[in-house]
Amino acid sequence: MGVFCYMQKPSSVTSTERLSHRFSYRIAPGKIYQSQHLNYIIPGASWQGAYFLYSFLGGMIMAKAKYTRGSDGYWRTKAWDGSYNPDGTKHRINLKSAKSSADLERQVNALKRDIENGQALKSTDITFYEYAQIWLNTYKAVRSGNTRRMYSNIIEKHLSTLEDVKLKDIRKTHFQLVINSALDHPRTCQQIKITFRQIVKAAIADRYLPDSALRNICEDIELPKYRAKEKRPLTDLEKKAVQQADFSPMERTFIYIIYGCGLRRSEALALRRIDIDLQTSELTISQALEFDGNNPSTKPPKSNNGYRRVPMPPFLTDHLRYYLPTVKGDYLFHSQYGRMMTLSAYRRMWERILLKMNLAVGGTENLWVIHGLTAHIFRHNYCTELCYQVPAISTKKIAQLLGDDEKMVLEVYSHVVEKKENTEEVISKAIVL
């Protein structure tokens, strides 16, 4: 072992002893090598031929303890946990060891490796419910009103039961218990699952939960069976009613647009004069209408696919040549004084549309022959009718016109194909002797 004593550095070292310009020297038995502050005695012939490398600051053969031991018997230090304080400074946590300074150093190095590998977790006592609220206000702040209200409803009505459970303690059991509380409402269970998974994924990204949390917490959850209502196109009776109903100009414009262009209700209600090009017979979708309570506001389309230009059929172009000059303000559909249509105004308009269609095909105010008709059925009808025109038009093009993905169109198209199939006829023609 080296023996430490304070001496002055020798004036010179011979060239044969120097190994490099980085102060690396050949060690000779019993010879004294010194830095500015320390000298090192290497005794014994067993050290002959060994090499000693020390820094320009003066190295040491024996390591000095990096951390000091406190009066409580623990070695302590503060280390960066990979996160930052609100003011941008590094957030540090307390580490300690009862064993040794070297053990504490191993903890520090392990934390550094975890940070480098993205595995270090932030230390927090925040509850799952508190984090869910932060997630909603941070990651879902830009979502549409309806979507955000859905998330908010799930958090307040269902995830609030976890207000006493710390985020770091969340387990699959908690997830299943929340699901079980809504078993009578399969659709709500689906929404709970979507919301819960997204919150856990965000907590992983924020380094509050380990990467394994999504698998350990969110997989193999038992859900009640849920089957969405089957979408349908317009019936022949409803198509006849569209032709014969005594609509007002605004009512007819709305029906013609969702029938002839397959727009979402929100997209149709947001249309302005500038969105209509009578020269090219096209309309442009660049925004949609949403409601906060009764109050309307505009938002971007549902997705990037939502930005599009859609050809107008001749009957719609002809109608708009008459209708546009009568429009008050910028919006095609409006409340009083040309303002954007409120939710209550839209509901009244839709009730009038349904009543007039019902009366046009033999119904009365007390006897309804048209049932379950929604604005979305017109959109589905548009998609269905275009799918009947494949291959004259591609499913990809239909998806572009709808501002949707091709997967949805293919689902509709498969139903169209099945409806048109005549298995017996095909087999008799294909399989012959």
Q: Could you read off the pLDDT of 254-286 as tens digits, one per residue?
A: 999 999 999 999 999 999 999 999 999 999 999
Q: Give residue-wise pLDDT tens across range 145-201.
A: 778 888 999 999 999 999 899 988 999 999 999 999 998 888 899 999 999 999 999
**DSSP letters spanning 89-142:** PEEEEEEEESS-HHHHHHHHHHHHHHHHTT-PPPP---BHHHHHHHHHHHHSTT
Q: What is the pTM of this model?
A: 0.61
Give the integer Cα–Cα distance in Å for 388 and 418. Answer: 11
H-assigned helices in 206-331: 213-218, 236-244, 249-261, 265-269, 314-323
Q: What type of residue sits at position 123?
A: S
Mapped onto helix, strand or coil, the DSSP state of residue 25 is: strand
Confidence (pLDDT) at 120:
55
Sorting pLDDT into bands at 50, 70 and 90, what band is 349?
very high
The answer to whether the beta carbons of residues 220 and 183 sit under 8 Å apart is no
User: Which residues, at least 6 apart from 192, have a Cβ–Cβ distance to it below 8 Å?
Assistant: 154, 158, 159, 178, 179, 182
CA 118 to chain centre: 20
Rounded to an integer, what distance in angstroms lies between the CA atom of residue 95 and that of residue 91? 13
Comparing 360 with 40, the larger pLDDT belongs to 360
What is the arithmetic mean of pLDDT over 16-39?
41
Residue 100 tokens read as 């040794």
| Per-residue pLDDT, 82 | 67
Note the pLDDT of residue 16.
Answer: 38
Which tops the pLDDT comparison, 313 or 110?
313
Give the pLDDT score at 281.
96
Q: What is residue 407's predicted lDDT score, i.e. its pLDDT?
A: 87
- Domains of the chain (ranges, CATH numbers): 3-53 (no CATH), 75-116 (no CATH), 128-218 (1.10.150), 236-387 (1.10.443.10)
Instruction: Give the distance from CA 384 to its chain's centroid.
Output: 30
User: What is the C-alpha separation between 79 and 205, in angstroms, rounded?
Assistant: 21
The percent of residues in the chain predicted with pLDDT above 90, rounded, is: 44
Work out the average pLDDT over 351-371. 95
Question: Is pLDDT above 60 for 123?
Answer: yes
